[in-house]
Amino acid sequence: MKKIFVVGLGPGNLSQMTNRALEALEKSDVIAGYTVYIDLIKDRFKGTQMISTAMKKEADRCNLAVDEAVKGKTVSMVCSGDAGVYGMAGLMYEIVHARGLDEDVEIEVIPGITAACSGAAVLGAPLIHDFTVISLSDLLTPWELIEKRLECAAVGDFSICLYNPSSIKRYDYLQKACDILLKHREPENVAGYVQNIGREGETGIITDLKTLRDTKVDMFTTVFIGNSKTKNINGKMVTPRGYKEVEGSK
Amino acid sequence: MKKIFVVGLGPGNLSQMTNRALEALEKSDVIAGYTVYIDLIKDRFKGTQMISTAMKKEADRCNLAVDEAVKGKTVSMVCSGDAGVYGMAGLMYEIVHARGLDEDVEIEVIPGITAACSGAAVLGAPLIHDFTVISLSDLLTPWELIEKRLECAAVGDFSICLYNPSSIKRYDYLQKACDILLKHREPENVAGYVQNIGREGETGIITDLKTLRDTKVDMFTTVFIGNSKTKNINGKMVTPRGYKEVEGSK
């Protein structure tokens, strides 16, 4: 059986990668990934064949990785964050299946720390209770479905984590998303965002929903909107779970 | 400034802990946690003072950790999975604040891989697109709010990950949750669950929503319900993201 690992590298530098991920990369003859992620690891794995492709070439990247696996090589496909959250794990299963290779190529997904969790840690504990993760990118998803999910997340009083909140073309998407949330949440609902998680220039900002609406963020930003009970505790964003011991003591 | 790390250990064995987490534990004079998690790490950190408390004693555990930090010791509070998803990060901020120690004790949250991500990797790629995480435990949350969130998650066509799906007292909660989801989703909606993630006996099962409804699971199980487009691909649970290259090729 040929083998492909789909490996989540976690955020930024490699100190937040797991040993399981490291071992998979060490076992691999070929490491494939988006150029930026290959650059992160190429010094550490100097003898290993690297395949890097540009952004938006995800299917090509998977096909190249499968080609190498079919030749008998052990291949790792690397993703930032978690391989299973807006990562390459799903597409890899779909492509192996579309090529009729289900019985020949085994896929092992190795999870990593996704930006919802690494960004939450920078801000405090915004996702400590029930939450949703929603991408604002409409490259592959109709905007109407994204709007519906925002609406449902707001009504259900979830904490919300937004991926891909903005880009040059989609400069006003975060504003549109906040306008939907503001139909069901108070303008003072605690919110925050983190730039460059785990990398140089990591910055976490705590604000509120109405200020977030008028904030410009870039595509390297992860956005958090608390639930209606989320508090700003000394500059940290903390969603309570309901422990009576602390809530009684205030 | 005194220091408390709140550290996510990831699932099961320690190969899925990050180096950043390991380094925090190595720096610590005291490691605090629920007995089961302390047992996981005590051999590795033999010289370190350990404080372990029983389940449901979360506030006591935080207070003991804070007591040690106040004495000048570096303390790690360990959690399974991620410290920021139903973990101890939030309560630690609340307790330090309630004790008026905001200016004396610095908290650093070190994320780990939560069961949503580690369980998803076992099943395939169920959470590759927008998703919600909901706990079915009503120990600290009114059941009516849990029901409302299930309803919103179903209507928004999110992939859904359920934590704490069952216990001896709450033996029928998963059934009640599935009944809510079945009001808005097809009985054939792909679903799955994982037992003992990252531990001996790890098992992933793929099924559908109507079968899940009549399945008994224990408290060490994490449950996944796909969105309406999630597929069973050769025994793996895969949510598509909408790449035209693979969807056109079928």
Q: Residue B250 pLDDT > 60, yes or no?
A: no
In chain B, the largest separation of any two C-alpha atoms, in whole Å, equals: 64
- In this structure, are strands B159-163 and B124-125 parallel, antiparallel, or unpaired? unpaired
State residue A245's pLDDT score.
76
Closest-CA residue of B relative to A5 is B121
Q: Residue B118 pLDDT > 70, yes or no?
A: yes
Q: Which of A177, A116, A173 is nearest to B127 (CA)?
A: A116
**Averaged pLDDT score across all residues of chain B:** 94
Average pLDDT estimate for B205-222: 96
pLDDT in tens, A99-119: 999 999 999 999 999 999 999
Closest-CA residue of B relative to A129 is B86
Closest-CA residue of B relative to A157 is B149
Give the gap in angstroms from C-alpha A216 to the nearest C-alpha of chain B: 23
DSSP string spanning B154-206?
HHTT-EEEEES---STTTTHHHHHHHHHHTTS-TT-EEEEEESTTSTT-EEEE
The ipTM estimated for the assembled molecules is 0.96
Average pLDDT estimate for B154-169: 95
| CA A68 to chain centroid | 27
Angle at A87 between CA B239 and CA A100, to 5 degrees: 60
Q: Which of B37, B67, B33, B69 is nearest to B52 (CA)?
A: B33
Q: Rounded to whole angstroms, what are the CA distances from A43 to A47, A66, A117, A232? A: 9, 24, 27, 41
Chain B residues 32-71 within an 8 A CB cutoff of chain A: 58-59
Residues from chain B that touch A243, judged by Cβ atoms under 8 A, are: 58-59, 91, 94, 140
* Cβ–Cβ < 8 Å for B157, A150: no
State residue B247's pLDDT score.
62
Closest-CA residue of A relative to B19 is A15
* Residue B221 C-beta-side C-alpha neighbours within 13 Å: 19
Chain A residues 136-155 within an 8 A CB cutoff of chain B: 140-141, 145-146, 148-149, 151-153, 155
Q: How far apart, in whole angstroms, are the C-alpha atoms of residue B19 and residue B99? A: 31
Write down the residue that tokens 């690397």 correspond to: A78
pLDDT in tens, B77-90: 999 999 999 999 99
Q: Grade residue B219 by pLDDT with cuts at 50, 70 and 90.
A: confident
- Does A125 contact B at CB distance below 8 Å? yes
State residue B56's pLDDT score.
74
Q: By three-state DSSP, how is residue B34 classified?
A: strand
Chain B residues 173-232 within an 8 A CB cutoff of chain A: none
Q: How far apart, in whole angstroms, are the C-alpha atoms of residue A21 and residue A26? A: 9
Q: How far apart, in whole angstroms, are the C-alpha atoms of residue A80 and residue A115? A: 9
Q: How far apart, in whole angstroms, are the C-alpha atoms of residue B41 and residue A219? A: 38
Q: Which of B237, A69, A85 is nearest to A77 (CA)?
A: A69
State residue B12's pLDDT score.
83
State residue B14's pLDDT score.
86
State residue B5's pLDDT score.
98
Q: How far apart, in whole angstroms, are the C-alpha atoms of residue A17 and residue B16? A: 9
Task: Tell me if A149 and B127 make a contact (CB, 8 A cut-off).
Answer: no
- Does A23 contact B at CB distance below 8 Å? yes
Q: Grade residue A250 by pLDDT with cuts at 50, 70 and 90.
A: very low
pLDDT in tens, A20-50: 999 999 999 999 999 989 998 999 999 999 9
State residue A189's pLDDT score.
98
Paired strand residues for A124: A237
Closest-CA residue of B relative to A151 is B156
Write down the residue that tokens 């930090």 correspond to: B69
Task: Tell me if A246 and B124 make a contact (CB, 8 A cut-off).
Answer: no
**Domains of chain B by start residue, with CATH:** 2-113 (3.40.1010.10), 116-238 (3.30.950.10)
Average pLDDT estimate for B158-165: 97
Average pLDDT estimate for A134-144: 95
Q: Which of A58, A90, A126 is nearest residue B238 as measured by Cβ atoms?
A: A90
Q: How far apart, in whole angstroms, are the C-alpha atoms of residue B198 and residue B195? A: 9
Q: Residue A248 pLDDT > 60, yes or no?
A: no
Residues from chain B that touch A242, judged by Cβ atoms under 8 A, are: 140-141
State residue B38's pLDDT score.
92
- A-B contacts at Cβ under 8 angstroms: 252
- At A203, list the tokens: 């910055």
Residues from chain A that touch B236, judged by Cβ atoms under 8 A, are: 93, 107
Q: Which of B71, B83, B70 is nearest to B24 (CA)?
A: B83
If you ran DSSP here, which 8-state letter would residue A245 be given? H
Of A239-243, B53-57, B170-174, B225-229, which one has max mean pLDDT? B225-229
Q: What percent of chain B has pLDDT over 90?
A: 87
Q: Residue B154 pLDDT > 60, yes or no?
A: yes
pLDDT in tens, A168-212: 888 899 999 999 999 999 999 999 999 999 999 999 999 999 999
Q: Which of B18, B153, B242 is nearest residue A16 as measured by Cβ atoms?
A: B18
State residue A247's pLDDT score.
62
If you ran DSSP here, which 8-state letter would residue A50 be given? E
Q: In what order do the strands lie in the sheet with A231-233?
A: A124-125, A236-238, A231-233
- Which of B93, B138, B158, B237 should we substitute to test contact with A (largest number of A Cβ atoms within 10 Å)? B93
Q: Residue A249 pLDDT > 50, yes or no?
A: no
State residue A129's pLDDT score.
98
Q: What percent of chain B has pLDDT over 70?
A: 98
- At B142, list the tokens: 């009114």
Q: Grade residue B249 by pLDDT with cuts at 50, 70 and 90.
A: very low
Residues from chain B that touch A126, judged by Cβ atoms under 8 A, are: 84
- In this structure, are strands A190-195 and A203-208 parallel, antiparallel, or unpaired? antiparallel
Task: Tell me if A86 and B114 make a contact (CB, 8 A cut-off).
Answer: no
Residue type at position A248: G
